[in-house]
Amino acid sequence: MRIDICAVGKLRAGPEKALLDDYVSRTEAAGRGIGITALNLKEVEEKRRLEPAPLKESEAALLRAALPRGAILVALDERGRAEPSEAFAKRLGRWRDEGQSDIAFIIGGAAGLAPALREEAAHVLAFGPMTWPHMLVRVMLAEQIYRAVTILAGHPYHRA
C-alpha cells in the first residue's frame, strides 16, 4: 500500500523538511515488512493572491489532480475527528488488509480546505481543535503515519 501526503505549498529546506524526510525514510524502512511500500509527499502550488473562497477552490483543483486514481481520501481539518494513535494505526491496517493500494491524505493551505473537497473524503481527521500551521501539519502527519506503521509492525517506538 502506498501512502501519499498531498499538501498545498512547498516545504523549504529547514528543520521541518529535515524532520519530514526523516519520518519518510523511517516509515518506508519499517513499512516494507508489513505491506506499506511508500510514503510520498506531493506538493501543489500555493495560491496567495485570491480571496478565501476562490483560493480554496483553486487549491482543491490542484490537490484533486495530485491524487492517485482510486485512492482512499483522508482530509486533515480542524473540524475532523481526533483519534488515538492506536485507532489511526488500526484504520490504516484495515485499509491495507482490505487490499487498498493507495491512501491519500490532503492538507489544505493557510485558508484551509474547500468544503466540497472535505466532503469527498472517506475520513476527516483532526489533530485536535487547535489550528496548526499547514507546513507543520505534514510533519505531524508523517510522524503519526510512522507511529502507526510501528504499531502495526510490533515495533517498540510507540509506548502507550
- Is 133 annotated to bind a ligand? Reply is no
The pTM (predicted TM-score) of the whole model is 0.94
Mean pLDDT of 76-102: 96
- The 10s digit of each residue's pLDDT in 10-21 is 999 999 999 999
Q: Is residue 48 pLDDT above 80, yes or no?
A: no
Name every residue whose Cβ is closer than 8 Å to that of residue 143 and which is 6 or more positions away in sequence: 19, 23
140 is in an annotated binding site: no
> Does the annotation list 131 as a binding residue?
yes
Dihedral sign for Cα 26, 29, 34, 39, please: positive
Mean pLDDT value across residues 73-78: 96
Domain ranges of the chain: 2-153
* Mean of per-residue pLDDT scores for the chain: 94
105 annotated to a ligand binding site: no
CATH classification number, 2-153, choose in 3.40.50.150, 3.40.1280.10, 3.40.120.10, 3.50.50.60: 3.40.1280.10
Q: Give the pLDDT band (50/70/90) at residue 135.
A: confident
3-class secondary structure per residue, 8-76: ECCCCCCHHHHHHHHHHHHHHHHHHHHCCCEEEEEEECCCCCCCHHHHHHHHHHHHHHHCCCCCEEEEE
Which amino acid is located at 128 in the chain? Answer: G
Cα–Cα dist 55/52, whole Å: 5
Rounded to an integer, what distance in angstroms lies between the CA atom of residue 24 and that of residue 45? Answer: 21
Does 128 carry a binding-site annotation?
A: yes
